[in-house]
Amino acid sequence: MEYNHKDIESRWQNYWRDNKVYKTALDTTRPKFYVLDMFPYPSGAGLHVGHPLGYIASDIYSRYKRLRGFNVLHPMGYDAYGLPAEQYAIQTGQHPEKTTTDNIARYRQQLDRIGFCYDWDREVRTCDPKFYKWTQWAFMKMVESYYDTELDKAQPISKLVEHFEKEGSKGIHAACSEELDFTADEWKAMSEKEKSDTLMNYRIAYLGNTMVNWCPQLGTVLANDEVSEGLSIRGGYPVEQKLMYQWCLRVSAYAQRLLDGLNDLDWTDSLKETQRNWIGRSEGAEMRFPIVGSDIELEIFTTRADTVFGVTFMVMAPESEYVDKVTTPEQRKAVDEYLESIKHKTERERMIDKKVSGVFTGSYAVNPLTGKEIPIWISDYVLAGYGTGAIMAVPAHDSRDYAFARHFDLPIVPLIEGCDVSEESFEAKSGKMINSASADFSLNGLEVPEAIAATKKYIAEKGIGKVKVNYRLRDAIFSRQRYWGEPFPVYYKDGIPHLMDESSLPLLLPEVDKYLPTETGEPPLGRAKNWVTPEGYPIELNTMPGFAGSSAYYLRYMDPDNNEALVSKEADEYWRNVDLYIGGTEHATGHLIYSRFWNKFLYDLGYVVEPEPFKKLINQGMIQGRTNFVYRIKDTNTFVSLGLKDQYDTTPIRVDVNRVSNDVLDLDAFRAWRPEFKDAEFILEDGKYVCGWAVEKMSKSMFNVVNPDDIVERYGADTLRLYEMFLGPIEQSKPWDTNGIDGVNRFIKKLWGLYYKGDQCFVDDSKPSAEALKAVHKLIKKVTGDIETFSYNTSVAAFMICVNELSSLKCHSREVLEPLVIVLAPFAPHVAEELWHTALGHDTTVNDAKWPEWNEEYLKENTANYAVSFNGKARFTIQVPADMPKDEVEKLALSHESSAKWLEGKSVKKIIVVPNKIVNIVVG
């Protein structure tokens, strides 16, 4: 029997499927282990060779854990709502559901060919009503909750209502959009609409008038993580800031818990750091500056409380609500003109344009420490959304304030001894304070950190301000003006939003004639007929964003068919949370934040038992494309090989990588590729056409997409799996390079040759030699250690070494060949399964085998090699019996004939013997 990957792989894939070999059930007698891949968005392009990288890694780990006796949950599903399907629908009129279903079918086919051990009975699709019922359900729970800042958890909104009834807003501790102040009587006197609006200020999912990222080209709002440098991540269209009435999630209330939770997670430092940056905690002080001739106080946030004595002016954001209140009649015209000029700029223009601009309001504030009057300005370098939307300007110690002061000729007061502010600001947080004293308070002579602490204490005592922590993390905007997403279970009665009854879930996505906004600018759901409740009230027209469906999907896999709960108590208590999560870094500030938030919310309400969803997380690197080039001599149809191209004037042209093998162009395939190359001529080197190459993003337009199907067809899934792991550490990004895959394929054939030659099976029950036992036990030890640390590339190398040793030893003993198959099974399951059954004669599947333990006895050496070195420079090697005591090794090393010349005229100061490694003789 020759190794025939097509026959072996299709046979076993069918067997696994028909016998539901990978079906997982809740089994409290066995320890659980939950291994999860980030589920893919099923795009029209299908899988390329980069996608399976993480899936293979998690598959290996799942199979390994299973062989170790764990009950492994390893599911897969689809993040099926998304913009591409909707845009395709707009262009073609094809229902997004149709394209999505087709794409999923294609993905499934591609995934199946690689031989993954998913339990497909647990598949979820975010666009499936059975699934999105629970997305809508969680949203409703968020609407019905507020965040108690004292208990530090979500609470039912009814508790807050009770409090309002009794004491109004006095003494509440609830996260809110803005501080409100009302009495119980005022609350009771509110209209239904006013009450609704008031409660929106506290709900965890709330309707709010907020600055949103509006993308006109996409026709929808976007969350902060969907925007980068003022452009939409999808499509790269400009994004503007716009005040809109939108559903939001009060993620900011969870900022501190999201930050603290990171400490206990087994994630990479860089990913945790990314999340910490995104949450952006900064400790400082909030201070009030009274405005001259008014009872308004301007509130600011600063991390540099020590610099208050250097505040020479104040600046507020153009969008600040105080702008109107402090602008004097004389300055009104100038201010209006300035606001108008800002309004026309997009967010991106504002970011790029670093020119200093601003306008004086005409009003003055009082510096609470110096008592001096300072002017209040407006400038767009102050952001409305962060802190209080106003700042105290310290030009001597902040570069932005410095630039502003210089431009408008405002005073600059240095506060740190010896600093030079004639050219630029001094921003270092060190040095001794100067110029910082009033009648009853002085910071002079203190170091900066001491001064910060002293000022915080002082302002708190004086009632001027208080210590405050600010976060960069904003609430997530939860509405999208799109069709292809979850509808909100919300209807409007007299303009007041109401939740639908829980029993009416899921609220099904309605049919529409077109997937575009309506003529009046309403979202696509505005086209739906009868989009009203049975009572005739209109239903919300927005849909939920992509992250809604992906925030709790890992919980649904635990209990996918449950129609009574997101996940049953029993299933949740058994599976708990994800032990190992594998996916890309691109979700660091999106999905991985939202999911943690969502989980913490459900945890607060008692629906889940674990406060964190993903215990350990591995980020697989991106597989980049490796583009091949051919070089056409200008104005001809002649192509010159890489090594000779410098002799001609050439144009590099990207060539389909599938027509190139090991950088050598297949000439006929190239001629057949496109009509214009039909008559191409070639200048070869050594009879070959060698292509150039470059690393680029893997994409159709670069002609560098490699489809896993082609690799599986040619070499088999086992070769693909081993090769992807062999490329390098999984965390690392690397270009896909088909060069080298032959080496892995050769390994599998060589392995096969240990068991079979022609039709003859070699496996016998003979006693293996010590060398053979050693080879395989070394392998077991190495692979066991490697799997736990995800060093799969060195495991593959270990397999190669072991098989090479066994074939040169001509070892065919079952005692050696059986454990070899078991440890190989996670990596190359098809060939392992085949050998397990046919060559080794088992009738169970290799998945039910027991992971072998290595025996240290077999690994013992009977001789030990020592490198003998003098002052750290290795000079020669000695071989001694393994159990020779240290002092004898020393003696032997010193008496070796080669030692004489190193010892000549010198004395031995010290001898260091590292077992099996080195004898270092220190001479001097």
Partner RNA sequence: GCUCGAAUGGUGGAAUGGUAGACACGAAGGACUUAAAAUCCUUUGGUCAUUGCGACCGUGCGGGUUCAAGUCCCGCUUCGAGCACCA
Footprint on residues 509-548 left by RNA (CB under 7 A): none
Q: Which of 844, 707, 821, 706 is nearest to 756 (CA)?
A: 821
* Tally of CB atoms within 10 A around 418: 9
C-alpha distances out from residue 715 to 172, 266, 319, 339, Å: 67, 36, 62, 65
By CB under 7 A, is residue 432 in contact with RNA? Answer: no
* Shortest separation between residue 225's beta carbon and RNA, angstroms: 7
The backbone torsions φ and ψ at residue 692, rounded to the nearest 5 degrees and listed phi first, read: -85, 170
Footprint of RNA on residues 642-701 (CB under 7 A)? 662, 686
* Tally of CB atoms within 10 A around 253: 27
By CB under 7 A, is residue 562 in contact with RNA? Answer: no
* Shortest separation between residue 897's beta carbon and RNA, angstroms: 13
Footprint of RNA on residues 109-168 (CB under 7 A)? none
By CB under 7 A, is residue 4 in contact with RNA? Answer: no
Cα–Cα dist 682/638, whole Å? 5
Residue where the block lists tokens 């399907």: 85
Residue selected from 274, 331, 444, 658 as contacting RNA according to rule CB under 7 A: 274
Which residues have a Cβ under 8 Å from the Cβ of 500 and sit 6 or more positions away? 140, 489, 490, 491, 507, 533
By CB under 7 A, is residue 920 in contact with RNA? Answer: yes
Footprint of RNA on residues 188-227 (CB under 7 A)? 224-225
Residue selected from 14, 92, 183, 277 as contacting RNA according to rule CB under 7 A: 277
By CB under 7 A, is residue 720 in contact with RNA? Answer: no
Residue where the block lists tokens 């300007």: 393
Please say whether the beta carbons of 451 and 444 come within 8 A: no
By CB under 7 A, is residue 400 in contact with RNA? Answer: yes
Q: Which of 352, 355, 435, 359 is nearest to 397 (CA)?
A: 435
Residue selected from 243, 770, 801, 859 as contacting RNA according to rule CB under 7 A: 801
The backbone torsions φ and ψ at residue 288, rounded to the nearest 5 degrees and listed phi first, read: -110, 135
* Shortest separation between residue 148's beta carbon and RNA, angstroms: 25
Which residues have a Cβ under 8 Å from the Cβ of 454 and sit 6 or more positions away? 306, 443, 446
Please say whether the beta carbons of 44 and 865 come within 8 A: no
* Shortest separation between residue 645's beta carbon and RNA, angstroms: 17
By CB under 7 A, is residue 897 in contact with RNA? Answer: no
By CB under 7 A, is residue 871 in contact with RNA? Answer: yes
Cα–Cα dist 614/34, whole Å? 10
| Closer residue to RNA, CB minimum distance, 186 or 586 | 586
Cα–Cα dist 681/668, whole Å? 11
* Shortest separation between residue 198's beta carbon and RNA, angstroms: 27
Cα–Cα dist 254/551, whole Å? 15
Site string for RNA, 23-42 (x = CB under 7 A): --------------------
Which residues have a Cβ under 8 Å from the Cβ of 883 and sit 6 or more positions away? none
By CB under 7 A, is residue 882 in contact with RNA? Answer: no
Q: Which of 803, 814, 801 is nearest to 764 (CA)?
A: 814
Footprint of RNA on residues 747-766 (CB under 7 A)? 747, 749-750
| Closer residue to RNA, CB minimum distance, 207 or 410 | 410
* Shortest separation between residue 526's beta carbon and RNA, angstroms: 32
By CB under 7 A, is residue 242 in contact with RNA? Answer: no
- For 197, the token pair is 């609006």
By CB under 7 A, is residue 236 in contact with RNA? Answer: no
DSSP code for 442? B
Residue selected from 383, 609, 683, 892 as contacting RNA according to rule CB under 7 A: 383
By CB under 7 A, is residue 389 in contact with RNA? Answer: yes
* Tally of CB atoms within 10 A around 561: 8
Residue selected from 43, 149, 201, 303 as contacting RNA according to rule CB under 7 A: 303
| Closer residue to RNA, CB minimum distance, 8 or 300 | 300
By CB under 7 A, is residue 794 in contact with RNA? Answer: yes
Please say whether the beta carbons of 547 and 481 come within 8 A: no
Residue selected from 86, 119, 737, 890 as contacting RNA according to rule CB under 7 A: 737
By CB under 7 A, is residue 302 in contact with RNA? Answer: yes
| Closer residue to RNA, CB minimum distance, 158 or 808 | 808
Residue selected from 70, 182, 237, 381 as contacting RNA according to rule CB under 7 A: 381
| Closer residue to RNA, CB minimum distance, 446 or 919 | 919
Please say whether the beta carbons of 252 and 471 come within 8 A: yes
* Tally of CB atoms within 10 A around 856: 9
Site string for RNA, 803-832 (x = CB under 7 A): -x---x------------------------
* Shortest separation between residue 546's beta carbon and RNA, angstroms: 17
C-alpha atoms less than 13 angstroms from C-alpha of 506 in its C-beta half-sphere: 19
Footprint of RNA on residues 44-103 (CB under 7 A)? none
Footprint of RNA on residues 828-867 (CB under 7 A)? 865, 867
Footprint of RNA on residues 578-617 (CB under 7 A)? 585, 588-589
Using CA atoms in the order 160, 161, 162, 163, what is the torsion angle rounded to 10 degrees? 50
Instruction: Say whether 760 sits in a helix, a strand or coil.
Output: strand
DSSP code for 238? B
Using the rule CB under 7 A, give the single segment among 562-570, 649-657, 723-731, 824-832 that binds RNA: 723-731
Residue selected from 166, 746, 850, 906 as contacting RNA according to rule CB under 7 A: 746
| Closer residue to RNA, CB minimum distance, 115 or 387 | 387
DSSP string, 370-400: T--EEEEEE-TTS-TTSTTSEEEE-GGG-HH
Residue selected from 63, 65, 304, 596 as contacting RNA according to rule CB under 7 A: 304
| Closer residue to RNA, CB minimum distance, 740 or 841 | 740
Residue selected from 449, 643, 841, 872 as contacting RNA according to rule CB under 7 A: 872
By CB under 7 A, is residue 742 in contact with RNA? Answer: yes
Footprint of RNA on residues 456-515 (CB under 7 A)? 470, 472
Cα–Cα dist 816/821, whole Å? 9
Instruction: Say whether 722 sits in a helix, a strand or coil.
Output: helix
| Closer residue to RNA, CB minimum distance, 224 or 370 | 224
Cα–Cα dist 10/6, whole Å? 6
b/e per residue 720-732 (b: at least 16 CB within 10 A): bbbbbbbbeebee
Residue selected from 44, 728, 841, 881 as contacting RNA according to rule CB under 7 A: 728
Considering only the C-alpha atoms of the chain, give the largest distance between any 2 of them, rounded to a whole number of Å.
106
Using the rule CB under 7 A, give the single segment among 6-14, 270-278, 512-520, 640-648 that binds RNA: 270-278
Size of the site for RNA (CB under 7 A): 81
By CB under 7 A, is residue 796 in contact with RNA? Answer: yes
Using the rule CB under 7 A, give the single segment among 78-86, 526-534, 675-683, 787-795 that binds RNA: 787-795
By CB under 7 A, is residue 726 in contact with RNA? Answer: yes
Cα–Cα dist 40/519, whole Å? 34
By CB under 7 A, is residue 270 in contact with RNA? Answer: yes
By CB under 7 A, is residue 255 in contact with RNA? Answer: no
Three-point CA angle 370, 371, 376, nearest 5°: 100
Residue selected from 734, 778, 781, 842 as contacting RNA according to rule CB under 7 A: 734
- For 52, the token pair is 């399976």
Using the rule CB under 7 A, give the single segment among 82-90, 183-191, 763-771, 908-916 that binds RNA: 908-916
Amino acid at 631: Y
